[in-house]
């Protein structure tokens, strides 16, 4: 049989780094039953996809993941391995045939789809952010366990397979190696510091016992690397687009079909009259705002996952105040700078984020917090919204990617509403960045001016 490297070269569209190839070899050695526990930002998704790509007999395959990265899996499958897939949505199951034998579904709707999916006899289950099945009593855990336990191959992915205490580890270990971890109670009594509940009722498992023994018993099931360990193989900055379903798709469709009518019902006759003076601009503004509001819930889910599964800090940028408000309501301890924050107070807010370990989340308006401050205590940036200019986005990202940054790699995420104006905005940003790059790199003024004019004309027509 050809080597792993040769098999990867034959099927992968994007070249893997050496440490990623080692993860594929580890997964192959364990016949596709493994925990990929690399630190966030090291490409765990690509490693799992690579193993699936070189093992077509391990299909049909089911990917279970958080909703906020569901369409990221669709993109990664296509970009890395040229594989199309079927993305499932909604709580009303319907028969389907997975494209290329691959289906992607999020944890929140898995319980409703479990019976239909069970009848499809998947051979590979990939559980992304597998710490989502830490609670044995949760329906998502029961559904995921039922589906994955029927598969000959199970790949669990998480930078933090144990979020809090060893009792959370059992559902994952049981799926990967049911022979070594056949039942919950022996595991819990041995490794989870068992104690009686209030007035002797029931059992609690609040801590850890025999930790070294548990580590030795599980070390052969997991491959885990930190950024520090693979420092020389990492690029300095990586951008990722997270496509998500907006939660107000019906409102978006109404505005898209007839924006004046939408504004009339939403904001009244005076606003509709003003919109009629510039209907194209009004439509673009309305669609942008609706999309932004529809991303609040997916953004909250993504941020919560990040904070729960890493010890790192995070910078989040938005444009509209109600979007920042919506996120702030769920993360009251977050630090914040937008137009409502006096300039005199901004320095102390930045200093708190930079120096206080417990202050891990910063929320900023791109205009108010996108220039003149340093936030390099974080190495990850999430743009829930982005303006039309690459300069504004790049300036905001540069709050983190600047002199004094100690991280080996900066991760920048753009959250885009699927099928919305967001996709057009990102396209325009990339085109404008290309134009700006040609200016800086010394293209002729005539060619650059023509490119700028053509781009602006195209935007106006749209």
The Cα–Cα gap between 347 and 230 comes to 35
pLDDT at residue number 449: 35
- Mean local confidence (pLDDT), 159-169: 92
Domain 237-419 in CATH 3.40.50.300? The answer is yes
Backbone phi, psi, residue 243, to 5°: -85, 130
Nearest alpha-carbon partner for 317 in 284, 270, 352, 365: 365
Residue bearing the bigger pLDDT, 63 or 238: 63
Nearest alpha-carbon partner for 60 in 26, 12, 97, 114: 97
| Triad 267, 259, 455: Cα angle to 5° | 125
- For residues 334-357, b (16+ Cβ closer than 10 Å) or e, as one string? bbbbbeebeeeebeebbeebbeee
Residues of the chain with CATH 3.40.50.10810: 4-231
Torsion (CA) 133, 69, 222, 173 in degrees, nearest 10: 10
Half-sphere exposure of 6 (CA within 13 A, CB side): 3
- Mean local confidence (pLDDT), 336-358: 93
Give the residues across from 127 on adjacent strands: 64, 156
Tell me what percent of the residues of the chain surpass a pLDDT of 90: 68
Sole residue written with tokens 């919109």: 275
Secondary structure string (H, E, C) spanning 324-336:
HHHHHHHCCCCEE
pLDDT at residue number 230: 85
Give the residues across from 314 on adjacent strands: 361
- For residues 112-132, b (16+ Cβ closer than 10 Å) or e, as one string? bbbeebeeeebbbbbbbbbbb
Whether 46 has a pLDDT exceeding 70, the answer reads yes
pLDDT-derived band at 451 (thresholds 50, 70, 90) equals: very low
pLDDT at residue number 80: 95
- Mean local confidence (pLDDT), 202-225: 95
Sole residue written with tokens 């099927």: 11
Whether 460 has a pLDDT exceeding 50, the answer reads no
Residue bearing the bigger pLDDT, 58 or 444: 58
Q: How many Cβ atoms are within 10 Å of 449's Cβ, its own excluded? A: 13
Residue 448 has which token pair? 């650059």
pLDDT at residue number 36: 97
Half-sphere exposure of 406 (CA within 13 A, CB side): 6
Decide if 54 contacts 11 (C-beta within 8 A).
yes
Nearest alpha-carbon partner for 413 in 305, 340, 331: 305
User: Is the C-alpha dihedral spanning 113, 114, 115, 117 positive or negative?
Assistant: positive
Those residues with Cβ within 8 angstroms of residue 387's Cβ, 6 or more apart along the chain or in another chain:
319, 366, 393
CATH class, range 4-231: alpha beta
User: What are the tens digits of pLDDT across the range 257-281?
Assistant: 888 888 888 888 888 888 788 888 8
Nearest alpha-carbon partner for 157 in 314, 309, 11, 381: 309
Whether 73 has a pLDDT exceeding 80, the answer reads yes
pLDDT-derived band at 453 (thresholds 50, 70, 90) equals: very low
Q: How many Cβ atoms are within 10 Å of 198's Cβ, its own excluded? A: 7
Nearest alpha-carbon partner for 314 in 324, 300, 303: 303
User: What are the tens digits of pLDDT across the range 334-345?
Assistant: 999 999 999 889
Residue 119 has which token pair? 């009848």
User: What are the tens digits of pLDDT across the range 136-149?
Assistant: 999 999 999 999 99
CA distances from 284 to 73, 420, 462 (A): 29, 11, 9
The Cα–Cα gap between 75 and 63 comes to 13
The Cα–Cα gap between 299 and 242 comes to 10
Max mean pLDDT range (175-189, 365-379, 432-446) = 175-189
Q: How many Cβ atoms are within 10 Å of 284's Cβ, its own excluded? A: 18
Q: In what order do the strands lie in the sheet with 102-106?
A: 86-87, 102-106, 61-65, 124-128, 153-157, 33-36, 222-223
pLDDT-derived band at 40 (thresholds 50, 70, 90) equals: confident
Give the residues across from 214 on adjacent strands: none
pTM for the predicted model, two decimal places = 0.84
Residue 458 has which token pair? 């195209």
The Cα–Cα gap between 293 and 289 comes to 6
Residues of the chain with CATH 3.40.50.300: 237-419
Residue 359 burial (CB < 10 Å; 0-12/13-18/19+)? Answer: middle
The Cα–Cα gap between 167 and 207 comes to 8
Those residues with Cβ within 8 angstroms of residue 268's Cβ, 6 or more apart along the chain or in another chain:
none
pLDDT at residue number 457: 45
- Mean local confidence (pLDDT), 306-325: 93
The Cα–Cα gap between 17 and 379 comes to 21
CA distances from 89 to 74, 113, 145, 421 (A): 13, 10, 20, 21
């Amino acid at each position: 049989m050809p080597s792993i490297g040769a098999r990867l070269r034959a099927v992968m569209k994007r070249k893997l780094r050496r440490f990623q190839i080692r993860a594929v070899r580890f997964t192959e050695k364990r016949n596709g039953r493994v925990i990929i526990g690399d630190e966030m930002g090291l490409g765990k998704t690509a490693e799992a996809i690579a193993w699936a790509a070189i093992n077509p007999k391990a299909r049909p395959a089911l990917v279970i993941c958080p909703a906020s990265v569901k369409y990221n899996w669709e993109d990664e499958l296509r970009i890395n391995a040229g594989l199309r897939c079927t993305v499932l949505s909604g709580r009303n199951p319907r028969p389907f045939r997975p494209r290329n034998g691959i289906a992607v579904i999020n944890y929140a709707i898995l319980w409703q789809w479990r019976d239909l999916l069970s009848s499809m006899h998947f051979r590979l289950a990939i559980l992304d952010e597998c710490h989502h099945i830490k609670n044995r009593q949760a329906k998502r855990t029961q559904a995921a366990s039922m589906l994955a336990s029927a598969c000959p191959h199970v790949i669990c992915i998480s930078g933090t397979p144990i979020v809090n205490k060893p009792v959370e580890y059992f559902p994952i270990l049981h799926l990967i190696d049911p022979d070594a971890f056949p039942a919950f109670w022996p595991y819990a009594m041995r490794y989870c510091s068992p104690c009686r509940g209030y007035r002797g009722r029931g059992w609690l498992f609040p801590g850890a016992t025999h930790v070294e023994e548990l580590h030795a018993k599980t070390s052969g099931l997991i491959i885990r690397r930190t950024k520090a360990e693979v420092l020389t193989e990492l690029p300095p900055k990586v951008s990722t687009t997270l496509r998500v379903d907006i939660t107000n798709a019906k409102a978006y469709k109404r505005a898209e079909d007839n924006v004046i009518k939408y504004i009339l019902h939403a904001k009244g006759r005076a606003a509709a009259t003003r919109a009629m003076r510039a209907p194209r601009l009004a439509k673009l503004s309305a669609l942008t705002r609706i999309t932004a509001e529809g991303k609040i819930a997916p953004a909250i889910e993504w941020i919560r996952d990040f904070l729960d599964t890493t010890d790192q800090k995070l910078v989040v940028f938005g444009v509209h105040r109600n979007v920042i408000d919506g996120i702030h309501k769920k993360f009251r301890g977050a630090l914040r700078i937008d137009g409502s924050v006096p300039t005199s107070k901004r320095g102390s807010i930045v200093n708190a984020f930079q120096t206080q370990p417990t202050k891990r989340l910063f929320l900023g308006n791109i205009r108010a917090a996108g220039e003149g401050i340093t936030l390099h205590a974080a190495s990850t940036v999430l743009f829930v919204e982005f303006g039309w200019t690459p300069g504004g986005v790049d300036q905001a990202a540069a709050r983190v990617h600047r002199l004094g940054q100690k991280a080996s790699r900066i991760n920048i995420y753009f959250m885009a509403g699927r099928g919305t104006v967001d996709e057009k905005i990102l396209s325009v940003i990339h085109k404008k960045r290309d134009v700006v790059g040609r200016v800086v790199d010394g293209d002729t003024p005539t060619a650059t001016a023509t490119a700028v004019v053509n781009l602006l004309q195209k935007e106006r027509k749209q």
